[in-house]
Every structure is written in structure tokens, then in C-alpha cells.
Amino acid sequence: MEQTEIAREQGAPTASILAEQAWEGKVRKVFSWIVSVYLCVVFGAFPLYFHNYYYDILVSKYQFYWLSTVAMLASCLIAAIVFACMDLKRFGGAHVRRFLGAFRLTELKKQPFAYKALAVFWGLALISTVLSDYVYESFWGNEGRFSGFFLITLYVLGTIVSSKYGRMRKWYLDVFLASSVLVCLFGITDYFQMDLLGWKKGVSNEQGNLFVSTLGNINTYTAFVALTMAVACGCFVSERKVGRRIWYYLVSALVFFALITGQSDNAYLSLGMLFAVMPLFLFTTWRGIADYGILAATFMTVIKVVDTVNKVYADQVIGLGGVFGVLVRYRYLEGIVVLFWILAGILCVWKRKMEQTNPESKPGRWIWRGWCAVLILGCLAVAFVLYDANLGGHAERYSALSQYLVFDDDWGTNRGYCWRIGWQSYRELPFLHQLFGFGPDTYGILTWDFRQDALDRYGVFYESAHNEYFQYLVTMGPLALVSYLAFLGGTCVQMCKKWKECAWILAPVLAVLCYGAQAVVNINLPIATPIMWAMLAIGLALTREKAEQAE
């Protein structure tokens, strides 16, 4: 809605313009209030909500989210109808016509790239649903994880409405972090097998240890905690007030502990993404470099703390395996922790000196470029090792890490098998289904012919690809996957462009990237995924507000 433009165009007197301006402000305030309540519910209540413990955790979370989102959308619709009637009475419907005019093709072309990609993604999801042999299942996702067209539509509408009509404030993230602290504390007590919530009574340790806090499976918990880690670290490095920096630092340290004790190797993907990407933003100032050093030293310290806890309370904790199990048992861990803190201390002293003697001083550009070179070389090294271990015929060179580097049916807790049967089933589809997919969240139906084989081999069957991107590829088609990636990438680029104007926009950027890293081996569930979409909405809203301020 263009402020007072309608009144000016009609040659209205100043009093009328002021009245219209006040009315428009009231309209924006109402919609902003609705979005604010919605985000507080999603960030504050949703992570903690449950109904019947772990027995229906997925169903209850799904119902809570879709009911909350529908309530928000319905409230906005009712408010829109009321204001439309008021507009017809007071302004002859001028604002309604202006609003509807925004849907003309010429106006839609002016929308940011991220929204265009999102619209294409939703359109392709619709086509995939309509063309599916299982329309009902594609719409509701009831044969998968409830991530069908209905939930996709709610993600899209919730993101658009929140980003277009919400006024973003940093305290939304504080609400999320406060709720997440409770989630992490419950998760940590589960690591100590305390079961404070009493959810695991009558459940064997083998099964009970796979479920954590108020979120369910350890992989889902890890995906959620990774989002929390990204937000806490992003807020810490962007905050200047001492009190708030302490709050964000303490949350970051707690989340590091929760992530490590979450027992899922998926965590190393989000950790790698976090510590790889942050320097691209932080290594342009001495403060940023010092903050990065503090976070890195803190993470190494937490690893040592977990090692100590595992030794002192060996008969009480679950214990660690996988990558983190190797890290906590590393013989030189103490020395590395001391070294990291020495480096962090030197960086902090240097930052302080620069602020006092030469406030305008900036690190040499070579530091940032050097980090970029490290990232490129690291990616090339990983690519070479993966090629050498799988296609080069030298798997024996990497025997110690074969479970991570050699792709076969058993890779990634049988994810290799899951992906193989998905790809094999997809290749046998007719061309139209290959182009538009088998239908949203129908992976279990797509791979039905392998269900008995999976049960015989592993004692489980697969309703999801355990890879969000591969899931979109085979169930919605390559075009949908490309549009989804374009939306995520476009949104992150759009947010990064406003980073200098709004430093804390780094928090949702890191959250989306960390979630995206884990999505390579994780399931798209209405437990952690709604938080990621809410972070996208916050980022898009912030970029909109900054663009409006610039005008």
C-alpha cells in the first residue's frame, strides 16, 4: 500500500492526507500484530509442544503447525475483508484497487527473484500433485511425513504473508532462543539418561536413546539444534551491547554442548557450514576475526568438557560414537583447546588495540582472500578423496574413514541403499513423472517394490529419502528441485546484500545455510523445517524493510 499516494493523486487537502496516512498505519499495524503473534507461537510454543510424548510427536507437531498457520492466514483474511469494507466506505475502494493492481503481470515482474522462484516451486508442486497417480496421498503426504502439497502451500503462504506484512524485530529471535534453551536442556538431561519428562518409561534403552527432548528422533533434534546454533552465533557476532552478547554467547556454548551430545553425525555438516561461512562475513573487521576466534575456542572447549563428562559420569551418560566420539578421545585435545584460547586472546587484544589507536583500521584483504582459497582447496580435496575412494579404486587408502567416504548400500546408516532404490524407481517412471515427479512426499509409494527387501535386509522400510534435495528430485521433479534451490539461494543472496545495513540478518542467513547442509542427509519434517521457513520469512521481511527505508 503506497502511503498517502492515493490522496495526493486525488488532490486531497492536507487533513485528508493525514487521515489517510493514519488509517494506512493502522492497517499495517494490525497485520504486523497478527504476524508477530504467529511468529511468537512458531518460535516459542511450537518447539515445546507435545501431545502423547513420542508416540505421536510427528502428528502432533504437524497439527500444531498447520492449525497455527491457518489461523494466522484466516486472521489476515478477515482483517483484509474488514479493511476492504472500510476502504470502500471512506476512500471509494481506492486502496483495494491498488492492492489488486499489484497482481498485474507487469507488477509481479518487479518482485525480487526469491519470490519468483518460490512461486515457480509452488506451481510445480501443484502440477506434480495433479499429475500424480496418488493425488490424495500427494496432497496430504499421509503416506510419508505429512510434507505433501498442503503443507508446502502453508510454508509458501506463511512465508509470503510474514515477509510482506510483518515488522521484523530482533526479539523474535530471542523468543526462539529462549524456547530452544529449554529444548537443549531437556536434550542434555536425556544424554545423562535422566528422562526428566518421563517420556521413555517402559522403552528399552536401545530405542529410547534414539529420541531426544521434545522433538523426537536424534536427527530431527540435531537439525533443530543446528538452527539454534546458527541463530545464537549469528546474533553474538552482530551484537554490540555487552549484556546481550553475554546472553548469545552462553546460548552458543550451551547449544554446542547439546549438538555434540545429540549423538547424530549429521551435526558435523552444520558445524562445518557454520565455521566455513562465518569468516566470509567476519574477516573484514578485527572485531569479526576476534569473535570468530572466541566461538572456535569455545567449541573446542565444549568438546573437552564433553570428554571430561564422559569419563566422570561414564556409568550415567549414553556415550558418543562416530565423528564426535573420535574428537573427544583425541589425545592432544587439551593442547588444542589451550592453543585456540591463546589465539583468541591475541586476537581480542589486537582488536582492542586497533579500536583505541586506529578505529578505522581494517584487516588486510589478503586474510579474507586467504580464507576463500582455503575453502576452495578444501572442497577440491574432499571431491578428490570421494572420487578416489569410490571411482578411483583406492577405497583401501581410507579404511579408517570408509563408513563416511565409501558410498555403498550401508553408507550413512543405510542411506546408500535408500537412495539407490529411490533412483532406480525414479528411472523406471514415464517421462512425465520423471519431469514432474511421482507426487509430493510419495517416496514410500515410489519405492514400494523394495519394501520387503528393505525389511529383510535392515528391518525397516523407507517412507522418505533421508535427503531433502533427492526427495524433491524424485517426488516433484528436477524443475521443482532447481526452483527450490533458486529460492533458498536467492533469499540468502538477498539477505547478504543487506548485511551491512542490518548486521543481525546474518542469523537467519546462517540458519538457512546450516539447515541446508544437514538436509543432504536428513528428512524434511514438520518439526524443524517450519523453523527454517520462518527464518526465511524474517530475512525477506528485513530486506523489504531496508529497501523501503532506502526509498
> Do 107 and 101 meet the contact criterion of CB atoms below 8 Å apart?
yes
Q: What is the pLDDT of residue 14?
A: 67
Task: Identify whether 79 is part of a domain.
Answer: yes
* Residue at grid coordinates 526479539: 171
Q: What is the pLDDT of residue 1?
A: 43
Query: Total domain count for the chain?
Result: 1
Residue 154 structural domain: 5-284+363-550
Q: What is the pLDDT of residue 269?
A: 94
Q: What is the pLDDT of residue 4?
A: 52
Task: Identify whether 351 is part of a domain.
Answer: no
| d(C-alpha 371, C-alpha 368), whole Å | 5
Task: Identify whether 332 is part of a domain.
Answer: no
Task: Identify whether 387 is part of a domain.
Answer: yes
Give me the phi and psi of 212, to 5 degrees please: -135, 140
Q: Give how far Cα 243 sits from Cα of 31, 128, 247, 363, 463, Å.
A: 32, 50, 6, 27, 46
> Do 235 and 501 meet the contact criterion of CB atoms below 8 Å apart?
no
Show the cell assigned to 403: 563408513
> How many CA atoms within 13 Å lie on the side-chain side of 315?
0
Low-confidence ranges of the chain (pLDDT < 50): 1-3
Burial of 197 (0-12, 13-18, 19+ CB in 10 A): middle
Q: What is the pLDDT of residue 395?
A: 79
Q: What is the pLDDT of residue 12?
A: 53
Q: What is the pLDDT of residue 15?
A: 65
Q: What is the pLDDT of residue 207?
A: 78
Q: What is the pLDDT of residue 357?
A: 84
Q: What is the pLDDT of residue 13?
A: 57
Task: Identify whether 305 is part of a domain.
Answer: no
Task: Identify whether 441 is part of a domain.
Answer: yes
Q: What is the pLDDT of residue 2?
A: 47
pTM: 0.93
Q: What is the pLDDT of residue 531?
A: 98
Task: Identify whether 392 is part of a domain.
Answer: yes
* Residue at grid coordinates 493523486: 9
Task: Identify whether 348 is part of a domain.
Answer: no
